[in-house]
Each structure stands twice: as C-alpha cells, then as structure tokens.
Amino acid sequence: MEIRLNGITHAYGDTAVLRDISLAVPSGKIVCIVGPSGCGKSTLLRLMGGLEQPSEGEILQMGDAPSGCLNPLTYIFQDFALLPWRSVRGNVSLVLEDHNLPKAEVNRIISDVLARTKLTDFANALPKQLSGGMKQRVAIARALAVNPAVMLMDEPLSALDSQTRELLMDDLIALWTRTPFTAIYVTHNLAEAVRLGHSIVVLSRRPGEIREIVHLDQPLSERHFGDATLEERQHYLWSLMRDEARAADAELLDV
C-alpha cells in the first residue's frame, strides 16, 4: 500500500504547524522525515495515521494492504509502550487478541515475529528484565505481528544509547532486507536517516514545509557505520537544516 499526501496544511488554533505538504510514500520503502524541533514531524505522522484530520488537503491510501494484514497503520513510539505485567510473548499476543484467529495461527505469528526480532529465548521475560534495546525489539515484534501495510515510526531509537541504536539499526535493516516493509520514520538523528531512509524529507521550521526530498540509491544492506557516502549525505542534510534549526532553537527559547 502506498500513502499519498496532497497539499496537507494543518494548524492548532492560530498556530500554523504544517504548510502544503505533498508527498508519496511508496510501498516497500522507508521514508524518513527530518526537520528542526517543533516543525510538525509528529503531527504529520498523526495525520497520516488518521489520529487527527488535517485542516486542508487529503491523505490517500492507495492499493491493497498485504495479505494477512490485521491493522493497516501501526505506530512504533520511542517509549516502547509495553505492558509491564505481561511477558514478551504476552505483549505481542495483545495485538492479536481481538481478531478471532485460531490459537495455532496466533502461536505461528508470535513465533515468527519473535524469531525475526531475535527474541525467541526471551519470550517469557517481563519488560523490567529487558534492556532498552530489547524492549524496543518487543515493540517492533508487536508491530510486525499485525503485518501492517505501513509502520509509522516516531523517533523509535531516540531513547536508546548510541551503541544500542547502532544495533537496532542493523536489526531494522536485516528485517527490511528479509521482508521489505513500508515505513514513515520520524527522527532528529540524521545518521539514522541516511542509514535507513530510501528517501529523506527535509522540513523547514514551523510551519513545516518541504525544503527538499533527498533520495538515496545505495541498498540498505550496503549502508554501514562510517560509510563516506552516507557521511557526505548527512553533512548535506545538516547544511539544509542548520540555519533553520538555530532559528527554531532561538524561537523556542523566546517562548
């Protein structure tokens, strides 16, 4: 399934947050969204997920969801949002409970997503026993369990330390390489954007407008930490954002 945004403009009261955003998120690709603090990245994700309606413009879902899709649009947040009293398996099974699936199918799905996220040996552990990186892998397993058409990822790695972030990026690349998924990935972190994005949408400061869409052709599986081409792209992104980020920072301090 592809998502298309046509002329999305959004305001909260008198505060203009997004202006005239038109964008296509192709099936099987990861589109990153970067931009200065407060430019409307999370708002854009909420609009795409249908949690809020835009003031102007339309958001289209084109094409069919994948077979076996139980929830077309699924969020992954930075705070994991796990139920502390449920095991890893119990947190994943939660999203399958209202779908009247045969028990054997539920077990098959859970075993599959735990294997894909390397959590099989931790199926019975409670969240408090897990590191931050493992907790986020549970959240990813839970998202994959519903076989979503599009994953809406809001700063999914930003609560993790830099080494764990590297490991999770490798995991996400391995997951995507095995079975390509469609994702919109909001991040502050330009290193994440150039590692994971097939394209990177650079927003201006609020009200967020598209400054540029940067396309990266290098296959995800060939993108590695310290890669010179990626570093060059990262510098380019920062050159697009630097002045606006400084202005947005000053604006926030004035409030």
Ligand X SMILES: Nc1ncnc2c1ncn2[C@@H]1O[C@H](COP(=O)(O)OP(=O)(O)OP(=O)(O)O)[C@@H](O)[C@H]1O
Determine which residue in the list 1, 5, 8, 17 makes contact with ligand X, applying CB under 6 A. 17
Angle between helix axes 162-178 and 132-145 (nearest 10 degrees) is 20
**Scanning residues 159 to 188, which ones bind ligand X (CB under 6 A)?**
188
Does residue 39 bind ligand X (CB under 6 A)?
yes
Query: Can you read off the two tokens belonging to residue 190?
Result: 């330009």
DSSP type of residue 222: G
d(CA 213, CA 190): 14
Does residue 37 bind ligand X (CB under 6 A)?
yes
Q: How far is the CB of 155 from ligand X (least distance, A)?
A: 7
Strands of 73-77's sheet, edge to edge?
73-77, 150-154, 183-186, 30-34, 199-203, 210-215
Contact range with ligand X by CB under 6 A, out of 35-43, 71-79, 102-110, 232-240: 35-43
Determine which residue in the list 8, 31, 41, 110 makes contact with ligand X, applying CB under 6 A. 41
Does residue 247 bind ligand X (CB under 6 A)?
no
d(CA 74, CA 92): 13
Which CB atom, from 2 or from 249, has the smaller least distance to ligand X? 249
Among the listed residues 125, 158, 162, 161, the one whose alpha carbon sits nearest the alpha carbon of residue 141 = 125
Query: Can you read off the two tokens belonging to residue 53?
Result: 């309606």
Does residue 38 bind ligand X (CB under 6 A)?
yes
Does residue 79 bind ligand X (CB under 6 A)?
no
Does residue 40 bind ligand X (CB under 6 A)?
yes
Q: How far is the CB of 229 from ligand X (least distance, A)?
A: 26
Cβ pair 211, 40 in contact under 8 A: no
Determine which residue in the list 8, 21, 32, 43 makes contact with ligand X, applying CB under 6 A. 43
| Site residues, ligand X (CB under 6 A) | 12, 15, 17, 35, 37-43, 188, 206
